[in-house]
Structure 1
Amino acid sequence: MHQKLIFFIFCFVMMCFTNLKAQSSKADLKLWYDKPSGKVWENAMPVGNGRLGAMVYGNVESENIQLNEHTLWSGSPNRNDNPLALDSLNRICQLIFDSKQKDAERLINKVIVSKKSHGQMFEPVGSIKLDFLGHENYTNYYRDLNLQNALATTTYNVGDVTYKREVIASFPDRVIAIHLTASKSNSLSFTALYTTPQPKVKHKASNNGELILSGTTINHEGVEGKVKFESIAKIIPKGGSLTNTDSTISVKNADEVTIYISVATNFNSYNDISGNEIDRANSYLRKAVTEKFSDVLSANIAAYQKFFNRVKLDLGESKFANVPTDQRLKNFNSVNDPSFAALYYQYGRYLLISSSQPGGQPANLQGIWNNSLRPAWDSKYTININTEMNYWPAEKTNLAEMHEPLLKMVQELSVTGQKTAKDMYGARGWMAHHNTDIWRITGAVDGAFWGAWSNGGGWLSQHLWEHYLYSGDKEYLKSVYPVLKGAAMFYADYLITHPKYKWSVMSPDTSPENAPAAHQGSSIDVGTTMTNQIVFDVFSNAIQAASILNRDKAFADTLKQKRSNLAPMQIGKHSQLQEWLDDVDNPKDNHRHISHLYGLFPSNQISPYRTPELYSAAKNTLLQRGDVSTGWSMGWKVNWWAKMLDGDHAYKLIQNQLTPVGTNEGGGGTYNNLFDAHAPFQIDGNFGCTSGITEMLMQSSDGDLNLLPALPDLWLAKGNISGLRARGGFELINMEWKDGKVIKAEIKSTLGGNLRLRLPNKMKLINNKLLKIASGNNPNLFYQTEEVKAPIISDKAIITPLNLKETFVYDVTTNKDKIYTLILNQ
């Protein structure tokens, strides 16, 4: 009897412990605060469904729910090519070859940079305000954003009444839903109204509980604003009464209130705005109002968790989950808070799910959240890094569906960019410069310093290829092959022969947003390293795609010949990877763009195992450029140091990123709501860090599936991640590690084929069958790596021998849809 009692007590204690651990895990998936946002937008909580975004301030007396809709942009369909370009290209090239880069820049400003729109602006709808009388004296304040169920909640007490507000952006119902409750009946009284910075609007309030905001977006840079929008808020009280003025609705003494907000525009596509915004907004609303909030909430959680729950990350327990998020952010650099890094990781996935949904627009510079009529950089698509970075987590963190809006935009740019390629550069195929918007402009904007970069289309086309590498869907590849081919055709036609080096180069060219002193402070040059790397990838992808689809052999042969004549990468006198054709880098240059390391990541042209000299030079470049920079730049550096197999340095960059904005002198950081700070807010840094943490735990771009390639010392003890995807249709169903060793890994093969594993320790299959030691090239075509030219190395350069940790490389022959379990081989 005594033994039974002890057993039951033991079971009860273990059950309580498990419960507490589960609760702690859930708490670690919340951003939470003990004070309202006040007037600071970057304190508010973002919710979104890919079409609608809302920022929830959680203010007590006057709540503010700021609204965005994914197609609400200034302007209307337009083009912005400069027809003067083609006749001036030879003159521009000669100026560059004569080392007159500044003169070339001045000419480019006249004949290449657009004389029309420099891009339209992503704009806010406005806000719905809820003014509560008598709530100025409140206690027990709390608000959070729960990443587990995509719900923003605010609670507080006034006297003996507990008030609760819940806000979601419903994926199934396409509305923002707000639910207000009180612990006592007849306690909810407030006035609701719309506010907006939009100048061309009409307000209306009806006695049936509807607030209506109608308007048309603004003109910008000579392009007439023609996007019409309709925002309807339906207020549904339980108990109490409704009254209205021309523009407000007041609720008095209700038991609870539900508010459904529907927003729609007349936008159909980049070249069609003939839709009916009023009918659309009403159709979404009429469906939602027939449902209870509890049902809308349940359906939304199910739709959201379908994506979010695919990946789980445990970096170890933390005692700081009971500390407000802004305080955890402030303390992160001085304490070991692994679950905060895991929270930040999952926040990136939450933001991507919330801002990019199939059928919608891609996440822009601010995702889907913007409160300014004239936002920084127009909150559009900067495609010389920022837009691409937004989607680095998509495939590998099991959010391939979220990639779809970007893939669609690339296909649309391949249409609009054909005219730009032909009219401005006399080339076939398609291209885009460094910026685009909802109207899919492809002309050069913002001045020669930025706009002369011609590789937006080339870089974006990599995303189409990447989607294929992860899915192995040959029908999809067929559908996008014309886009891949068109990107390659542009370069095939536009490359010229350098008169001195005889390499095939682009001219004019830039290395994004940087300018060496040797070029008179101009960014203009010829054949920059990043461009050569992008062209190498574009050609390689088109060659592989043509081979897989068994077409265009002659064209593929032409690309192989042209690829062979591209400039090799070079290692300069400071032992650095050269950014330019000439050795003019300054080792004290701390510029935020380190574009020539594109070859290290997201490309795989630089590898510790295949190109050790280039790898050494890339490391020197990273060290010379330094760590602290703008937010997105530090996000990129996390990925680079992960590819450097240096987990501690990658973690250092995460610490720099997770520093309150304003703390890093001369650099970015993070706002209280964990938005990335350029500064100001740009969402790319959030996505960059989520990608980087993934690369620390798993990589699949360098010819093998590499587990725990860059684990920092602080995460060595133990951890677990599940649900990551790798190239070739492999899914890491689960991976556990302890003391830096993988102790168990379950990998599903959705396509079959060879699985080449690189591991930090010896492992075996669960049936005690020893793994086959890998040899030769990986026969799995999804892991094909292209051989790059040997670098040209300055006689002043010092190549540091690599000191790589020992790894164990195995081959496993897999069958389609089978799961393979590996355990520690002791």
Structure 2
Amino acid sequence: MMRKSILIIFFICCLQAISQDTDGLKLWYNVPSSDTWENALPIGNGFQAAMVYGNVEKEIFQLNEATVWSGSPNRNDNPNALEALPKVRKLIFEGEYKAAENLANEKRITKRSHGQMFQPVGNLELTFTDHDDFSNYYRELDIEKAIAKTSYMVGGVTYTREAFISFPDRVMVIKLSADKPGKIAFSAALTSQHIKQNITVNGNNELSLWGTTSDHDGVEGKVEFNALARIKTDGGIITNTDNSLNIEKANSVLIFVSIASNFNNYKDISGDENQRAKDFIDKAFDKSFDKMKAEHIAAYQKYFNCVKLDLGSTEAAKLPTGERLKNFNTTEDPSFVTLYYQYGRYLLISSSQPGGQPANLQGIWNGSMKPAWDSKYTININTEMNYWPAEKTNLSEMHEPLLKMILELSETGKETAKVMYGADGWLAHHNTDIWRITGPIDGSFWGIWNGGGGWLSQHLWERYLYTGDKKYLESVYPAIKGAAEFYVDFLVEHPKYKWLVVAPGNSPENAPKEHQGASITAGSTMDNQLVFDVFNATINAAKALGVDKNFIKKLEGLKKRLPPMQIGKHNQLQEWLDDVDSPTDKHRHISHLYGLYPSNQISPYRNPKLFAAAKNTLLQRGDVSTGWSMGWKVNWWAKMQDGNHAYKLIQNQLTPLSTVKGGGGTYNNLFDAHPPFQIDGNFGCTSGITEMLMQSSDGAIHLIPALPDNFKNGMISGLKTKGGFTIEDMVWKNGQLLSVKITSNLGGNLRLRIPNEMQFESGNKLNKASGENPNSFFLVPKIKDPVISGASTIQPLQLKKTFLYDIPTEKGSSYRFVLK
């Protein structure tokens, strides 16, 4: 026993020594970005952002600020919707789906704004003369420090640029230096694509870009913004033109960039953008670069360093990032997965900070005045996926901007519920924006879905399951309850099946051929699963707070009348009430697997036939898909406990765009390619890798549930679980769990599911678990038995053997377990 313990400790120490070598946590390249935005490198602090091109002769910092959106406060409810609701329902129940969709397009889809656009501020452009003949070029993004760096040599002089957007100081700082004195010479200018703009050179060596955002879709653009760039030199001379600053013979140069808008909140744009921008830059300008850099790194690493991951390394890690991406499918490069995993955490920290806006479809980075899908919040999957890594990868604070937006939507969505559905509570459809619109947009095929509020409300509940914060739960309970109140009023009895169903609804963005090409339906599987989760979360939240006993009773009764999940003739989980799924359907949305993940209604241990049907659905849909869809599939295959298949999806994801016909992939800067760029795929894949290593959604904490052959050895530390546990120093070798330390932040029963037998570090035995987990944070949903088609031959899957233990814990105590 002593010899085994010594070997385990030695192996852990070796892994920790490797994991502390953070040179691998860099994206680096030996060529500039040129004019390609997807080659540039993203930096940000949740409020302000930039894409750093790293070009030599003309460097570009493309600038964003999270509140610079087109339009102004507005609503987009359709007042004709309520009158048409019974007619739309009648057509659906009669099987006249196309007629129902046409009527919904006419009477229910908004006639006002279809949502506003997240827009760029402009560019800071630095032009260097006589720098065309350069050598020794190198650029990087150090995601351990959140700093971008470019270096090169011209005429025997090595030039270096460093850039970061300070977390504590709310400004971008750029340092230009050379290894010989008096060699820095360039011109600086601000540019913008906005029609309403004014670029000036102020006193104090400062450039100013003031602008107003665009009118869009009938809504006047009223967001006013100001970007300031102020320069400080060591030596040299500064002169100016009408719209630029020229620097000559400087030893080094600091450029400070601040951006602010008049946006206060979704209904108030009375702020002073000029004073705000001035205050940010004034506060930072007199600080030294070294001090700002140290404070920035410390503030960033407070979040980033919470999770450490080591999957090993090979010679492949020595290549530039772009080459690693090209080679990943044919080369053993486990540390590239580590880099991509931590890059997802970097992007979330950099695009979503407390007090700011949530990460949108592109996070906080956008260079287009008219971005794809307006770079809005698509809430039928994409926005939710952005935040899947938040709690479990120890970034709970990054969740806060989304939670705040949900509370705001719970206010704006009340009027939509009343005007369009005649219902209490609140809802949102499949898209929203900074103005928190909740009406249906784009067209009935996409916009008729009304589950956005229901799905988002689960994030409010999830935060409580991880933190156990009762005061927080009290503050968000009205919004959780409001989502349930909407469904209480909106559900209608299906005339054929007698179940309570959502009508109209759909299975997002998909349609069976039998519905005449229309997506509109009643009681889609995803809608049923969402209503079930909304009712369940409300019931459990009310019980935790000791409130609303009568409402709990009402929801319990309604929950019994919801449709069960169904297994169809192709042994698949049905997507619709009727068995009309096609095994040749390869649609990117597989929304009915919401019940598998992110929900936990489908379990291999509690309902094995549903679990098997979910796997058949995944196999029938196939692997090739758009970027974000592949990210979701990594999570699903992790839930299937199939690590090799999950890894195959990671390989598909980490493939240069256009390599896989008909699929997405990854751009050179490791941004997810839908295509075009959508950040949800990055976040989805980071979540999926976490699910491969740890799950806490099925009544227990399941360690290394889906370990692929490529991850035979490794270590991870810092993951959070439901119930307030922290997984520390989890080490495995040859697929076997060697050691793990678990800290209990809330106390209560710790139920562990692991692949091999373990014991306390002291040698004491662990108690085998039995019955339901008594820990209230691990309640599992009790669902109806599925309805199984007479043509189905579904059989449960053979699962890997696991060991289940119960360990009583005390708040604040840690427990270490080792191989038995």
TM-score by length of 2: 0.98
Corresponding residue of 1:451: 447
Corresponding residue of 1:779: 774
The secondary structure found in structure 2 opposite 1:560 is helix
Q: In structure 1, how many angstroms separate the alpha carbons of the residues matched to 2:506 and 2:524? A: 6
The secondary structure found in structure 1 opposite 2:66 is strand
- 2:143 counterpart (133, 143, 147): 147
- 2:717 counterpart (711, 722, 728): 722
Corresponding residue of 1:9: none
| TM-aligned CA distance change 1:703 to 1:19, over 3 Å | closer
Superposed CA deviations along residues 777-801 of structure 1, whole A, max 9, x for unmatched, are 0000000001110000011112133
Superposed CA deviations along residues 41-87 of structure 1, whole A, max 9, x for unmatched, are 00000000000010000000000000000000000000000000101
**Where in structure 2 are the equivalents of 1:118-157 lying within 5 Å?**
118-157=114-153
Are 1:733 and 2:728 counterparts? yes
Corresponding residue of 1:703: 699
Are 1:542 and 2:532 counterparts? no
- 2:322 counterpart (315, 323, 326): 326
Are 1:759 and 2:754 counterparts? yes
The residue type equivalent to 2:795 in the other structure is T
The secondary structure found in structure 1 opposite 2:248 is strand
Superposed CA deviations along residues 294-328 of structure 1, whole A, max 9, x for unmatched, are 11110000000000000000011221222000000
Corresponding residue of 1:513: 509
- Deviation for aligned residue 1:207: 4.7
Contact 1:268 1:275 in 2 (8 A): yes
The residue type equivalent to 2:440 in the other structure is A
- 1:340 counterpart (336, 341, 344): 336
Identity of aligned residues (%): 62
Corresponding residue of 2:649: 653
Superposed CA deviations along residues 218-260 of structure 1, whole A, max 9, x for unmatched, are 1001111000000000011110100101100000010000000
Q: In structure 1, how many angstroms separate the alpha carbons of the residues matched to 2:171 and 2:181? A: 27
CA RMSD of aligned residues (A): 1.2
Corresponding residue of 2:6: none
- Which portions of structure 1, spanning 4 or more consecutive aligned residues, are displaced by more than 6 angstroms? 17-21
**Where in structure 2 are the equivalents of 1:362-377 lying within 5 Å?**
362-377=358-373
Gaps of 5+ in 1: 1-13
Contact 2:326 2:655 in 1 (8 A): yes
- 2:259 counterpart (241, 247, 263): 263
Superposed CA deviations along residues 749-807 of structure 1, whole A, max 9, x for unmatched, are 00000000000000001111100000000000000001110000011112133111100
Contact 1:50 1:70 in 2 (8 A): yes
The secondary structure found in structure 2 opposite 1:157 is strand
The residue type equivalent to 1:591 in the other structure is H
The residue type equivalent to 1:362 in the other structure is P
Corresponding residue of 2:407: 411
Q: In structure 2, how many angstroms separate the alpha carbons of the residues matched to 1:19 and 1:418? A: 53
Corresponding residue of 1:817: 812
- Deviation for aligned residue 1:506: 0.7
The secondary structure found in structure 2 opposite 1:604 is coil
Corresponding residue of 2:668: 672
Q: In structure 2, how many angstroms separate the alpha carbons of the residues matched to 1:82 and 1:315? A: 52
The residue type equivalent to 1:463 in the other structure is H
The secondary structure found in structure 2 opposite 1:31 is strand
**Where in structure 2 are the equivalents of 1:27-66 lying within 5 Å?**
27-66=23-62
Are 1:436 and 2:432 counterparts? yes
Q: In structure 2, how many angstroms separate the alpha carbons of the residues matched to 1:209 and 1:110? A: 56
Superposed CA deviations along residues 379-428 of structure 1, whole A, max 9, x for unmatched, are 01000000000000000000000000000000000000000001100000
Q: In structure 2, how many angstroms separate the alpha carbons of the residues matched to 1:78 and 1:276? A: 21
Corresponding residue of 2:4: none
The residue type equivalent to 1:482 in the other structure is P
Contact 1:207 1:242 in 2 (8 A): no
Count of aligned pairs between the two proteins: 809
Are 1:626 and 2:622 counterparts? yes
The residue type equivalent to 2:757 in the other structure is K
- 1:803 counterpart (795, 798, 807): 798
Superposed CA deviations along residues 436-460 of structure 1, whole A, max 9, x for unmatched, are 0000000000000011000000000
Superposed CA deviations along residues 181-200 of structure 1, whole A, max 9, x for unmatched, are 00000100000001111111
- 2:416 counterpart (417, 420, 423): 420
Q: Greater shift after overlay, 796-805 or 689-698? A: 796-805
- 1:298 counterpart (286, 294, 299): 294
- Deviation for aligned residue 1:95: 0.5
Q: Greater shift after overlay, 197-206 or 437-446? A: 197-206
The residue type equivalent to 1:802 in the other structure is L
**Where in structure 2 are the equivalents of 1:387-406 lying within 5 Å?**
387-406=383-402
Are 1:79 and 2:75 counterparts? yes
Q: In structure 2, how many angstroms separate the alpha carbons of the residues matched to 1:207 and 1:158? A: 32
The residue type equivalent to 1:602 in the other structure is P
Are 1:172 and 2:168 counterparts? yes
TM-score by length of 1: 0.97
Contact 1:590 1:624 in 2 (8 A): yes
Gaps of 5+ in 2: 1-9
Are 1:250 and 2:228 counterparts? no
Corresponding residue of 2:783: 788
Q: In structure 2, how many angstroms separate the alpha carbons of the residues matched to 1:548 and 1:709? A: 30
The residue type equivalent to 1:501 in the other structure is Y
Superposed CA deviations along residues 450-473 of structure 1, whole A, max 9, x for unmatched, are 110000000000000000000000
The residue type equivalent to 2:660 in the other structure is N
- Deviation for aligned residue 1:24: 8.7
Q: In structure 2, how many angstroms separate the alpha carbons of the residues matched to 1:26 and 1:733? A: 19
Q: In structure 2, how many angstroms separate the alpha carbons of the residues matched to 1:643 and 1:112? A: 37
Q: In structure 1, how many angstroms separate the alpha carbons of the residues matched to 2:295 and 2:795? A: 57
- Deviation for aligned residue 1:741: 1.1
The residue type equivalent to 1:28 in the other structure is G
The residue type equivalent to 2:180 in the other structure is K
The residue type equivalent to 1:766 in the other structure is E
Contact 2:611 2:796 in 1 (8 A): no
Contact 1:24 1:321 in 2 (8 A): no
Q: In structure 2, how many angstroms separate the alpha carbons of the residues matched to 1:400 and 1:668? A: 29
| TM-aligned CA distance change 1:31 to 1:287, over 3 Å | same
Superposed CA deviations along residues 124-157 of structure 1, whole A, max 9, x for unmatched, are 0000000000100000000000011000000000
| TM-aligned CA distance change 1:694 to 1:325, over 3 Å | same
- 2:101 counterpart (84, 105, 114): 105
| TM-aligned CA distance change 1:576 to 1:19, over 3 Å | closer
The secondary structure found in structure 2 opposite 1:124 is coil
Are 1:473 and 2:473 counterparts? no
The secondary structure found in structure 1 opposite 2:487 is helix
The secondary structure found in structure 2 opposite 1:754 is strand
Q: In structure 1, how many angstroms separate the alpha carbons of the residues matched to 2:405 and 2:383? A: 11
| TM-aligned CA distance change 1:522 to 1:168, over 3 Å | same
Q: Greater shift after overlay, 20-29 or 79-88? A: 20-29
- 2:606 counterpart (587, 594, 610): 610
Are 1:585 and 2:581 counterparts? yes
The residue type equivalent to 1:66 in the other structure is Q
The residue type equivalent to 2:48 in the other structure is L
Contact 1:265 1:276 in 2 (8 A): yes
Q: In structure 1, how many angstroms separate the alpha carbons of the residues matched to 2:18 and 2:53? A: 28
Q: In structure 1, how many angstroms separate the alpha carbons of the residues matched to 2:710 and 2:452? A: 38
| TM-aligned CA distance change 1:21 to 1:468, over 3 Å | closer
The secondary structure found in structure 2 opposite 1:413 is helix
Q: Greater shift after overlay, 798-807 or 371-380? A: 798-807
The secondary structure found in structure 1 opposite 2:771 is coil
